[in-house]
């Protein structure tokens, strides 16, 4: 049994991680059995779940979307927000009876939440029916843990990050659009954020290994890749190999995959060279997610964000100048401790100046173990909610305004799947990451098609396919 320790997780050493081949254990022990996997949280977790599915498939388990059919249940959890935490424990409460009805059912809880000592202890004390608890650093060992499962609860959560694994057998959700990890962990330590503790220190993958993975994805017919990292702009800083994110982006662009995206960017690490590379290669999509978090320099300092309001605005303007037509979205937290009405107005000022294409907005809630959790959460909930409402009204207005600029234009859309908006519709994304519902047959899924935009809404566009050789 291994319980995590937050103090240990804070430590950063200069030791380079070992690069190893993934275990990719194969066994027929679970032949004919099914797994149910539920994922909470960000794109990183979604991609980790593709690794988990690969591990389970290698043990001969097949996926079911019906919980009652499952022989193995895996929850891949998120520690960023309180409600994700509540949802996981709510879910565990609801499946307890399944374990009574089916004693051989194996329940696994993994990912970011168990990296918190209090969660691992709670699972140990109050949820003994959970068979396996694993963290973010040993996903690769899940196969081994399943093969050795017995009636005793097995908690294996490491505080310190482990090796960097290559040649992972992912079971990808899409045949057209793929996530590619370029780095793990984060060294930024924004004061409100739990990620540097749950995912460990920054470890970049070697460029050669990333390029090999993307070349193979291109050969497999993938049309789009998204480079993934908590702070992609810091890529390479931990490697001393003499290359950075701008160099990586350029080499990835040369592979010739039609669409390249990346998330998430930290404004502090964004260099002019990165902007020039994005502007130079048409297959790097003109879309940047650039978290603001707050428009008040005072609050940004309390958040440990390492930039001022003015520096953020300057970067925003340079992006718009260097990459014409680039769409920019953001993240904003309202109600951080000590945020006055004046501070909130600074945020509104940046929002009005930038006119973002969209934003993920959140009410601040403390994460146990972070430095910000030690500051008194002194903003009443009703004020936080009022600020969020004011902010969202402006964000939605701006989003609609941007979307209306697309009316009657013809844009390229990568169709990713059936639309929820009608049986004769599919959906996909423009180069600028606008969601479009398109009247078209399912046979267009996986294709990049020309679409004429017929209607603009706050959060999506409607359109129809046009057969048109050259579009401007
Ligand atoms: S950059 Fe800041 S907010 Fe983003 S993962 Fe790292 S610590 Fe968290």
Interval between CA 129 and ligand 1 midpoint (Å)? 33
**Mean pLDDT for the chain?**
95
Pairing of the two strands 425-430 and 435-439 = antiparallel
Residue with the larger pLDDT of the pair 6 and 317: 317
User: Band of the pLDDT at 62, cuts 50, 70, 90?
Assistant: very high
Q: What per-residue confidence (pLDDT) applies to 419?
A: 96
Q: Is 292 in the pocket of ligand 1 (CB under 6 A)?
A: no
User: Band of the pLDDT at 471, cuts 50, 70, 90?
Assistant: very low
In tens, the pLDDT along 161-186 reads 878 999 999 999 999 999 999 999 99
Residue 242 confidence (pLDDT) above 60: yes
Asked if the peptide bond before residue 281 counts as cis, ω within 30 degrees of 0, the response is no
Q: Which fold has domain 410-465?
A: OB fold (Dihydrolipoamide Acetyltransferase, E2P) (2.40.50)
Can you read off the two tokens belonging to residue 315? 């970067």
Q: Is 193 in the pocket of ligand 1 (CB under 6 A)?
A: yes
Interval between CA 74 and ligand 1 midpoint (Å)? 26
Please count the other Cβ atoms lying within 10 Å of the Cβ belonging to residue 235: 27
Interval between CA 463 and ligand 1 midpoint (Å)? 36
Q: Is 260 in the pocket of ligand 1 (CB under 6 A)?
A: no
| Whether 395 contacts 356, CB under 8 Å | yes
Q: What per-residue confidence (pLDDT) applies to 426?
A: 97
In tens, the pLDDT along 263-299 reads 999 999 999 999 999 999 999 999 999 999 999 999 9
pTM of the model: 0.95
Residue 148 confidence (pLDDT) above 90: yes
Residue 458 pairs with which residues in a beta bridge?
Answer: none
User: Band of the pLDDT at 83, cuts 50, 70, 90?
Assistant: confident
Q: What per-residue confidence (pLDDT) applies to 13?
A: 80
Mean pLDDT for 467-471 is: 56
Please name the residue that has the structure tokens 């001969």: 60
Which one is the CATH code of 6-156: 3.40.50.12160, 3.40.50.80, 3.40.50.1220, 3.40.50.1370?
A: 3.40.50.12160
Q: Under the phi-then-psi rule, with left for phi > 0, alpha for psi from -120 to 50, and beta for the rest, what region is 418?
A: beta
Q: Where are the alpha helices (DSSP H) in 407-470?
A: none
Q: What per-residue confidence (pLDDT) applies to 81?
A: 78
Q: Is 189 in the pocket of ligand 1 (CB under 6 A)?
A: yes
Interval between CA 5 and ligand 1 midpoint (Å)? 20
Q: What per-residue confidence (pLDDT) applies to 17?
A: 84
In this structure, the residue with its CA closest to atom 1 of ligand 1 is 188
In this structure, the residue with its CA closest to atom 2 of ligand 1 is 190
Q: Which ligand 1 atom lies nearest to the CA of residue 264?
A: 4
Q: Which fold has domain 170-404?
A: pyruvate-formate lyase- activating enzyme (3.80.30)
Query: Nearest 5°: CA angle at 49, between 447 and 44?
Result: 80
Mean pLDDT for 347-361 is: 98
Phi, psi values for residue 159, rounded to 5°: -75, -35
Cα distances (angstroms) measured from residue 103 to each of 95, 143, 205, 280, 345: 12, 20, 41, 59, 56
Q: Which ligand 1 atom lies nearest to the CA of residue 304?
A: 2
What share of the chain has pLDDT > 70, as a percent? 99
Give every CB contact of residue 455 below 8 A, 6+ residues apart in sequence: 407, 461, 462, 463
User: Band of the pLDDT at 468, cuts 50, 70, 90?
Assistant: low
Q: Ligand 1, residues 79, 161, 195: which to mutate, most atoms within 8 A of Cβ?
A: 195
Instruction: Name the residue ranges covered by the structural domains of the chain.
Output: 6-156, 170-404, 410-465
| Whether 38 contacts 92, CB under 8 Å | no
In tens, the pLDDT along 390-443 reads 999 999 999 999 999 999 999 999 999 999 998 899 999 999 999 999 999 999
Q: Ligand 1, residues 184, 190, 228, 232: which to mutate, most atoms within 8 A of Cβ?
A: 190
């Amino acid at each position: 049994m291994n319980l995590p320790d937050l103090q240990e997780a804070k430590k950063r050493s200069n030791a380079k991680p070992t690069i190893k081949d993934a275990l990719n254990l194969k066994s027929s022990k679970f032949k004919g059995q099914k797994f149910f996997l539920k994922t909470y949280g960000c794109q990183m977790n979604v991609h980790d779940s593709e690794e988990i599915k690969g591990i389970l498939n290698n043990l001969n388990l097949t996926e079911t979307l019906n919980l009652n059919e499952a022989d193995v249940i895996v929850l891949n959890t998120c520690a960023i927000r309180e409600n994700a935490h509540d949802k996981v424990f709510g879910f565990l409460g609801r499946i307890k009876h399944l374990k009574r009805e089916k004693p051989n059912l194996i329940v696994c809880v993994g990912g970011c939440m168990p990296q918190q000592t209090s969660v691992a202890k709670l699972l140990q004390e109050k949820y003994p029916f959970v068979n396996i608890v694993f963290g973010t650093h040993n996903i690769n060992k899940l196969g081994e843990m399943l093969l050795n499962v017995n009636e005793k609860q097995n908690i294996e959560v490491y505080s310190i990050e482990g090796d960097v694994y290559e040649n992972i057998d992912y079971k990808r959700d899409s045949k057209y659009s793929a996530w590619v990890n370029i780095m793990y962990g984060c060294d930024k330590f924004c004061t409100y954020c739990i990620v540097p503790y749950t995912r460990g220190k920054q470890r970049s993958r070697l460029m050669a290994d990333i390029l090999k993975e993307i070349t193979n994805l291109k050969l497999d017919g993938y049309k789009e890749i998204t480079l993934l990292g908590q702070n992609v702009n810091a890529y390479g800083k931990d490697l001393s190999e003499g290359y950075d994110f701008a160099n990586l982006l350029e080499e990835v662009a040369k592979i010739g995959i039609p669409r390249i995206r990346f998330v998430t960017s930290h404004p502090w690490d964004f260099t002019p060279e990165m902007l020039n590379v994005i502007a130079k290669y048409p297959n790097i999509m003109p879309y940047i997610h650039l978290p603001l978090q707050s428009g008040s320099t005072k609050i940004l300092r309390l958040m440990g964000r390492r930039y001022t309001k003015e520096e953020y605005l300057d970067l925003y303007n340079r992006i718009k100048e260097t990459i014409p037509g680039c769409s920019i979205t953001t993240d904003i937290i309202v109600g951080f401790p000590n945020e006055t009405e004046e501070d909130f107005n600074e945020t509104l000022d940046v929002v009005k100046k930038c006119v973002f294409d969209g934003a993920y907005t959140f009410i601040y809630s403390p994460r146990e173990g972070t430095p910000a959790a030690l500051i008194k959460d002194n903003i009443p909930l009703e004020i936080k909610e009022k600020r969020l409402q004011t902010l969202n009204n402006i964000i939605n207005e701006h989003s609609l305004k941007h979307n209306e600029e697309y009316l009657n234009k013809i844009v390229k859309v990568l169709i990713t799947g059936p639309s929820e908006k009608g049986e004769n519709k599919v959906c996909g994304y423009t180069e600028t990451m606008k969601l479009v519902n398109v009247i078209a047959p399912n046979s267009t899924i996986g294709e990049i098609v020309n679409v004429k935009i017929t209607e603009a809404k706050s959060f999506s566009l409607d359109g129809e396919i046009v057969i048109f050789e050259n579009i401007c």
